Amino acid sequence: MKIIFITILLLILAFIPTDAQGKITVAVFEIEAKYVSPSGVDILTNVVRSEILKLQEYDLVDRDLMSKALKEQNFQYSSSTSVESIVKAGKILGIKKIITCNIGKLGSLYIINLQMIDVESGKIEKSETNEFIGELEYLRTPVRNSVQKLISINEKGISTGSFINISSEPKGAKVYVNGIFKGNTPVDVSIEETGKKLVRIVSDEYVPWEQHVYIKKDSTSFVNATLLKKQPNSINVSERLVNQDGRRSLISFMSLYSIFLANGTLFTMGVDSKRQYIGGTLIAAPLGFFITLKATRNASISVGRANMITSSAVWGALWGVSAVAIVKPKSDRPYVGLSLLGGFTAIYISTLATRDIKISKKRVSLINLGAFLGSLFGLGVPYVFDIKDDRVYFGSILAFSLSGGAYAIKLTKDFDKVYEESTFKNLNSVVNIDHKKIRFGLPIYSLAGILSSYLTPRAKYNNSISIQSWRVNLINVKF
C-alpha cells in the first residue's frame, strides 16, 4: 500500500509543469514551534505558504499529499532533524527546494529561523533569522516578513501589501483608522493607500488614544498603545475641549446684542425720542437674556459653537454695512438697518450650520482669521490699482472677506480633532468671557503663534495645543 501511494504521488509531481514553465517545485515543512498550539502552527505554516505562492517561479507541493507521503515513510520533521534526512525526504517527494521554519522562545523573546534547502546539492541555500518580542497572536507579521526576505520577494517587484499591526493595553479596544472602524485590538489592518494615517483607539472608561502613523509601501508598522484610565471626577480632554458649555458666553453676548438690536431698530424707523431709546435698552437686555436662556436650556452649546455664533453676528453686521456702502445712500439709516439684518441673518445661519457638528475654538479662530485676511486682500487689490471710488473698496472687502471665511471653513475641517486648552478665556474670538467681565475686541494673531500650532509635535497622548494671539480690547464690561 505504501509503495502504491508513493508511486501515485510521484506521478502527480511528475506532471507538474515545472520544467516546461521554468518553475521550481517547493515543499514547506510544518513549522516546529513548541510554544505554539497545533492550530497556531497551522496558521503560521499557511502564512509561509501564502507568501511563497505570491511568486510565479515556485510550484508549491500540496500540504496534505506531502504529509501523507512523509508519514508513510515514517518521517517527522523536528528542529533536531538533520539536513541529510530532510534532503532524503525531498528526493522521495521529487522536489527541488524545501523550506523549514523553527520558532524558539527565550524568555519573552521569540526567535524565528527559516531555511531554504536545495535537495539536489544537499546544502542550505538561504537562511533568515528574525527576533520578536510581543504577544503570540502578533507572531504572524514577523514570520511573514522573514519569508519575504528569504525568497527576496520585495526585490522581484511583488507587492506584499501594507499593514498596521495594532495592539493595546487593555485589549479589546475599538480601532479607527482615518475615522473608519477596523476592529478591536489586537488587529492587523490592511492599508490600500500609503501615507500618513490617523490611528484612534477607544475603550470605555479609558482616555481615547491617537497617533499619526506613516505607512510605507509593502511594509508593516506596529502600534502598541497603553490607554490611561479616566479619573473618577474628570472627563477626557477631547470631550472637555469640544463639549464644554458655551452657553454662558452666548447668553451674555445675546443680552448685549439685544440692546444694539433694539436701538438700531428704533434708529432705522426714524424714532427721535430719547425715552424710546432708554426704554428699549432697559427692556431689550433682560428680554435677550431670558429668551436666549430658554432657547439654549436643552441645547448642546460648546464654547467653539458659541464663539462661531457670536463672531458671525459681528461679521454679518460688517458685511451689511459694506453692502450698503456700495450703494452710497444719503441717509445713515440703511447702514444701521442692513447691519442689523446682516448680523441677525449670520446668527441664524451659523446656529443652523453648527447644530449637528462639534466645532473647536481653534477652528473658529482660524475661520475669523481667514475672513479678516480676506478683507485685507480686498482692501489691497483696489489700492494697488489706485482706484478712487470708495464703492469699489467696500465691494472688494465684502467679496474677499466672504471668500476668505468660506475657504477657511473648507480648509479647517480637520482642526476639530486637534486638542486645545480647556478654559473659558478665549483670546482668539471677538467676545472674551471670564468670571469677572466681558470684553469686546478685535483678535490680532501672531505669526509665531500660528506657526507654533503646526510645528509643535503631537504627543502620544492628548496634550494641549493652542494658537497664541494678541487682542485689542475695545469695551470692558465688569460684572
DSSP H helical ranges for 73-115? 83-93
The per-residue pLDDT for 202 is 92
Cβ partners under 8 Å of residue 276, min gap 6: 266
Residue 237: alpha-carbon gap to chain centroid: 16
Task: Let me know: does 107 contact 83? Beta carbons within 8 Å.
Answer: no
Instruction: Return the bridge partners of 101, or none.
Output: 114
291's grid cell? 429668551
Q: Is the confidence at residue 235, as pLDDT, over 60?
A: no
Task: Let me know: does 99 contact 86? Beta carbons within 8 Å.
Answer: no
56's grid cell? 510565479
Q: Does domain 2-159 have CATH number 3.40.50.10070?
A: yes
The per-residue pLDDT for 223 is 85
CATH of 161-234, one of 2.120.10.30, 1.10.10.1100, 2.60.40.1120, 2.60.40.1510: 2.60.40.1120
DSSP H helical ranges for 96-233? 140-150
Distance CA(292)–CA(301), nearest Å, equals 12
Could you tell me the residue ranges of all domains in the chain? Answer: 2-159, 161-234, 237-478
Among 57-66, 202-211, 355-364, 468-477, the least confident range: 468-477
The per-residue pLDDT for 245 is 67
Which contacts of 346-354 are long-range, i.e. CB under 8 A and separated by 24 or more positions?
346/312, 346/313, 346/315, 346/316, 346/317, 346/319, 347/309, 347/312, 347/313, 347/316, 349/312, 350/308, 350/309, 350/312, 351/309, 354/305, 354/308, 354/309
Q: Is the confidence at residue 461, as pLDDT, over 50?
A: no
Instruction: Return the bridge partners of 306, or none.
Output: none
Give the Cβ contact number of residue 116 at 10 Å.
17
Distance CA(70)–CA(83), nearest Å, equals 15
The per-residue pLDDT for 201 is 92
Q: What is the model's pTM?
A: 0.40
Q: Is the confidence at residue 457, as pLDDT, over 60?
A: no
Section 372-393 average pLDDT: 88
Please provide the average confidence, as pLDDT, over all residues in the chain. Answer: 75
pLDDT band at 272 (very low <50, low <70, confident <90, very high): confident
Q: Is the confidence at residue 232, as pLDDT, over 70?
A: no
Q: What is the largest CA-CA distance in the chain?
A: 119
Residue 298: alpha-carbon gap to chain centroid: 31
Distance CA(447)–CA(363), nearest Å, equals 16
